[in-house]
Amino acid sequence: MQVVTGKSVLNGIAIGKIKVYKAPKLEISESLIEDTEGELKRFDSARERAIEQQNALYEKALIDAGEDSAEVFSVHAMMLEDDDLLDATNEIIRSQRHTAEYAVKVAFDNQAKVFAEMEDPYMRERAADIYDIEQAVLSNLFGINTDVLQGTEPCILAARDLTPSETVRLDKSLLLGIITKEGSLNSHTAILARSMGIPALVQCRDACEDWDGMDAIIDGYNSCVYIEPTEDLAKSLRKRKDKDTKQRALLQELKGKSNTTIDGRTIQVYANIGGPSDIGLVQQNDAGGVGLFRSEFVYLNARDYPTEEEQFNAYRLAVETLAPKQVIIRTCDIGADKQVEYMNMVKEENPALGVRAIRICLSRKDFFKTQLRALLRASAYGNLGIMFPMIISRRELRECKEILAECAEELQKQGMKIGSYAIGVMIETPAAVMIADELAEECDFFSIGTNDLTQYTLAIDRQNAGLDPFLDTHHPAVLREIKMTIDAGHRHGIWVGICGELGADLALTETFLRMGIDELSVNPVSILPLRKIIRGIDLSKAPAERTPEE
């Protein structure tokens, strides 16, 4: 038996035979050609086909993994329309008289290297996206069938790495698990595997091609894979897998039950979603509402500024479908790790500390008003909350409310119907925590964005994988800030929730309840496990560990 360690993407057990996937080797000639016009047409045809494929992958990923995970394929489709990339490729064909295959390889590789050398970790990761679309175009030029990756039998797929496109094309019904030599826990492939509920290991450095056809077990709990496991070990892990299956079935029995502790304390458990396509997940997992609708995906999935009507239709669909449940929509949070070309953002040395979220909105008021008008119109169709991100001062919040009031007045003059709505603030900086009492006087609720709050409190770039050893998501400073925010909100009679990743951290659920949190908003698939934990807590008993403020 061989034991190889890696980094676990998802806690779980996968048992089966390994299928080693090798990306096809493409022999690209440097020979010159005479028919440049023909090669230009070949390239354009392959590129158009690649765009169609990326759009199809987007639709598939929506179903398999949700809006957040699918968004990368919309970005890929937009990259394939990039003028600089197209011009560079066409120029190599036209002026240097090279084949379309050679031109794509050189032009796309050069563009990927530009991204790879950037200081911003998010932009560096875009190099992988360039290589992914390069492979898509080359596959079309070579006539390679990219649909067959794993064969026709259930298997654990092993590879050096998998692109997002390759991951989504996998037949989920035949996919038992994934092992890659490279990759990271924050890569698109890891996110997709996690969203699809597939046990996976990345950075399995000792994985090898000789494993093809061997029996294996991925143990996501212990971050390792057993090759040709002993019978006793296989028997033990099968029992663990059966236990996991039964536990998932038991969780389904929690549908329709309340999020109430043993001693009678009830809190709201909401869902975080990326857009209207995730509404089904909200209903399927029995969420009490939507605590975070990430409206930036409306912008990320568009090729130009989305119109008021386009935004209104997206917001109305969510609000109307889920009524009377509350749907809290965060205003545009573009910037930092989320960029769109058509907004022509100025390159910043440190975008996480730059023009992002509400700072963009308040400096581009016409842009902001388009979204606010759409939100106000949608409020007539259900229970809407409007939430402003990255607020660090009372002045900013008041300015947002003034612009919102202007929009409401304009719509009423136009005879448009507006419903009631709540106004909330995301608490995601130490500054917001320190003035939480002042902000609470100006709004109806707080939602704590623990991802950014942790980043800004600990001075750790959450996009930088190299800082993982220094990142403590349970840091006492972060927990104290959460407690301070809850207390400030309650002093002024408003409810307080958490919509960041810590909301789904079951090790902290009791801590948050003892702090007095009113709502937790999490990934839809985390709702029932969270409900189970809540229903097993007895707040009348002394805690095993003291909370930060006790």
Which one from 76, 188, 361, 443 is the annotated catalytic residue? 188
Q: Residue 433: what residue type? A: V
| Block residue for tokens 């609000």 | 319
How many whole angstroms from its chain centre is CA 207? 28
Which one from 155, 332, 443, 499 is the annotated catalytic residue? 499
Report in angstroms the alpha-carbon separations of 382 from 315, 323, 411, 414: 10, 5, 18, 21
The question of whether 204 is a catalytic residue gets the answer no
- What's the chain's Rg over C-alpha atoms? 25
The question of whether 188 is a catalytic residue gets the answer yes
Q: How is residue 113 annotated by DSSP?
A: H
Query: Sheet containing 215-219: which strands, arranged edge to edge?
Result: 2-5, 224-227, 215-219, 13-20, 155-159, 175-180, 200-202, 7-8
* Residue 57: partners with Cβ closer than 8 Å, 6 or more residues away: 73, 76, 164, 165, 168, 169
> Hey, which residues does 422 pair with through a beta bridge?
385
In 97-155, where does DSSP find H-type helix?
Answer: 100-116, 121-142
* Residue 20: partners with Cβ closer than 8 Å, 6 or more residues away: 158, 159, 209, 211, 212
Q: How is residue 288 annotated by DSSP?
A: S
Which pair of structure tokens corresponds to residue 246? 């039964």
Pairing of strands 215-219, 200-202: unpaired
* Per-residue exposure over 296-311, b if at least 16 CB sit within 10 Å of its own CB, e if not: bbbbbbbeebbebeeb
* Residue 221: partners with Cβ closer than 8 Å, 6 or more residues away: 8, 11, 12, 13, 240
Which pair of structure tokens corresponds to residue 321? 């479908």
- Cα(66)–Cα(190) distance, integer angstroms: 14
Closest-CA residue to 204 (of 493, 443, 419, 9): 9
How many whole angstroms from its chain centre is CA 142? 33
Asked if 532 and 285 touch (Cβ cutoff 8 Å), the reply is: no
Can you spell out the DSSP letters for 177-192? EEEESS--TTSHHHHH
Active site residues: 188, 499
